A and B are shown apart, each in its own frame.
Chain A
Amino acid sequence: MPSRDAALEIKTLAQDPVPLRARASGDWTFHGLKERSEDFARHLVEIEKQPADRIAWDLTGVGELDDAGAVWLVRAMRGSQRVDVSQGHREILNQVGQGLLVPQEPERFDPLSGVVWTGEAAAGAAEHLRDGISLLGQLALDVAGMVRRPREFPMREFSAGIFRSGVTALPVTMLVGFLVGIVLTYLSALQLKRYGADLLVINIVGVGVVRELGPMLASIISAGRSGSAITAQLGVMRVTEEVEALSVMGISITSRLVLPRVLALAVALPLVSFCTDIAALAGAMLVSSFTLGISPGAFLQALPQAVEVVNFWIGIGKSVAFGFAVAFVACHYGLRVLPNTDSLAVGVTRSVVAAITGVIILDAVFAIMLRNIG
């Protein structure tokens, strides 16, 4: 399409009552204006020196006129009545003129905004807590219902959940466990060697891994892996109204979506942390035999005496609680996602942060409660 650049001629007629004549021609479009923005800025300065009624406008030479061109012209003409323009273009100019008249709402500073913000945050937190408690209650009711009608248990979702958050998590958790076992043993061995208490390394690493590190590593990695996946999945289901579709069909969201995920992680996480324990102890065994000269056979023989079995059961029990907590937090945040992309991103981030923090807090609570055991 042949495009003629936008042009503006300004003539001065000294004797005339309307001394300035502005004649626009060419295509007044986004493109044309951008190319020649400097020229036009100069013209505008010249035009604005004169009162609006002393300039006559001739726009009959204008070819194409789009919004950007119209905005410029309307602003330059400042409501002048002496405008010669074709009917079609007059319509566009009028529309844009209306658009320019819409007042911009001033941004007001509210001195009480801090108070409002605090109040809203507190109300939001209270609502969060209330939703969480009601979800927990609903979940308890669902479990009771499932016990009475075990046939309705969503077995497929449950087993898929165990596979997804358990089996597929093994490589990464075991690798991390193995490496942490190596580092921990190496550091302890360095210190213990000085006191000649080499064999104590088995006690320290054994109890540390089985009771604390195994469950913690497994649940923190699960919070990042499975927790974020659960929140994102439920969040997208909210965005696409799949959650609403379930409730409309009379299917309980908690028993179909939340329960299988929470139970699956509560079952899978102890298994994952058991494997993590084994990997970490294998790392410990490897380092002990290299740096302290404790053979793997001696390590395995000393382990049951150094670490009481109750420590293992405490670790496994904590994993069940952590798995439940991670999946519960993830579901809670997933169901709170609003139907927009921003809310989804915020929901997933908060879910992972809350799950990890929650696991660490729970762990501290357990440590205090069980301090006299093992």
Chain B
Amino acid sequence: MADDLDKYVIEIEGLVNTVGPGIILHRDLNLKVRRDEVLSLVGGSGSGKTQLLRVILGLKRPKAGRAHVFGVSWDDPNVKKVRDARRRMGMLFQNGALYSALTVYDNIAFPLRERGGLAEEDIRAIVNTKLAQVELEPRHGKLLPANLSGGMVKRVSLARALALSPDLLILDEPTAGLDPDRSEGFVRLIKRLREDHRFAVVMVTHDLDTLFELTDRVAVLADQHIIACDTLAVVRAMDHKFVQNFFGGERGRRALEHS
């Protein structure tokens, strides 16, 4: 078990998930994420990718099954353990979810201040470091989220997600709403950050370029469970309707050539 903990950041076993009155979304779903990998979650629309993310984030309680993050279940009565586990993960929401009443600087400083134990001076240094890491300048710190462009919102929320130096970063459609040039830049940014800070990444994406560029393994969510979780080459060779539609065809070939 101790060995497992060291190896996996997320362990999901026999998960059953429902939406609304008794519609089963996931049945006997198993997924393990290693602590040094980038895992992409793909699936058709309505397959429950977002709901699975919500379970991982502890925003939704599964009907049955085990969902552990850093070896901790979100239902664990030990509040401190749960809090510590929460602080080891960062989340990049699809639309940024920046606090609209706070400036960029205060948005990034927020988790640091909540964490406690850091002098304001140190927080300032870390916020400025994070701003530089996502290729923004200190002067951007004074802006309000309403004044940012879409790409900047993504970068600021990435900086906020990374503020506590997480071991696990969860990305929900990281390149949605960015133009191809920007999304390429964003992917490069995440790649570079991962070189310095070895965090695991779980991402949901529809963008094949992002997928080919970043991912180590792909988990395919279809027919109410994970039908495969393996390297791109293995998954692409699968004979499944969704996989063939998703990776096959012109779109997939172009993205592959590109990478």
Residue positions of A touching B, CB distance < 8 A: 1-2, 29-31, 33-34, 37, 66-68, 71-72, 74, 88, 91-92, 95-96, 98-100, 102, 104, 239, 338-342
Contact = CB atoms under 8 A, between A and B. Distances in A.
A98 B100 contact: no
Which residue, of A29, A72, A96, A338, has the highest number of chain B Cβ atoms within 10 A? Answer: A96
Given A95-B129, A102-B138, A340-B100, A30 B165 contact: yes
Contacts of A34: 116-117
B126 A68 contact: yes
Contacts of A74: 125
A99 B128 contact: yes
B118 A68 contact: yes
Interface of B: 5-6, 35, 70, 84, 87, 99-101, 115-118, 122, 124-133, 138, 144-146, 163-165, 167, 196-197
A92 B197 contact: yes
Given A68-B165, A72-B122, 12 more contacts: A1-B6, A30-B115, A31-B84, A67-B129, A92-B196, A95-B129, A96-B126, A96-B129, A99-B127, A99-B130, A339-B100, A340-B100
Contacts of B118: 30, 68
Contacts of B5: 1
Contacts, number: 79
Contacts of B163: 67
B221 to A, nearest CB: 27
Contacts of A342: 100-101
B146 A338 contact: yes
B113 to A, nearest CB: 13
A67 B126 contact: yes
B145 A340 contact: yes
B6 A340 contact: no
A88 B254 CA distance: 35
B163 to A, nearest CB: 8
B100 A341 contact: yes
A33 B132 contact: no
Looking at chain B's contact residues, is the secondary structure mostly helix, strand, loop, or mixed? helix
B133 A68 contact: no
A165 B54 CA distance: 38
Given A30-B117, A99-B126, A99-B132, A67 B165 contact: yes
Contacts of B132: 95, 98-99
Contacts of A37: 117
Given A71-B122, A99-B129, A341-B101, A66 B197 contact: yes
A102 B164 CA distance: 20
A104 B144 CA distance: 19
Given A2-B6, A30-B164, A340-B144, A71 B125 contact: yes
Contacts of B84: 31
Contact of B125 (A2, A29, A30, A96): A96
A48 to B, nearest CB: 15
Contacts of A29: 165
Contacts of B124: 99, 102, 104
Given A2-B6, A71-B122, A95 B165 contact: no
Contacts of B126: 67-68, 71, 96, 99
A29 B35 CA distance: 17
Nearest to A1: B6
Nearest to B126: A67
A72 B129 CA distance: 14
B195 to A, nearest CB: 8
A102 B124 CA distance: 9
A71 B99 CA distance: 26
Contact of B133 (A1, A95, A100, A341): A95
A100 B165 contact: no
Nearest to B5: A1
A91 B196 CA distance: 7
A102 B130 CA distance: 12
B125 A99 contact: yes
A74 B122 CA distance: 11
Contacts of A2: 6
Contacts of B117: 30, 33-34, 37
Interface centre among B84, B130, B197 (most CB of A within 10 A): B197
A31 B35 CA distance: 19
B146 A340 contact: yes
Nearest to B117: A34
Contacts of A92: 196-197
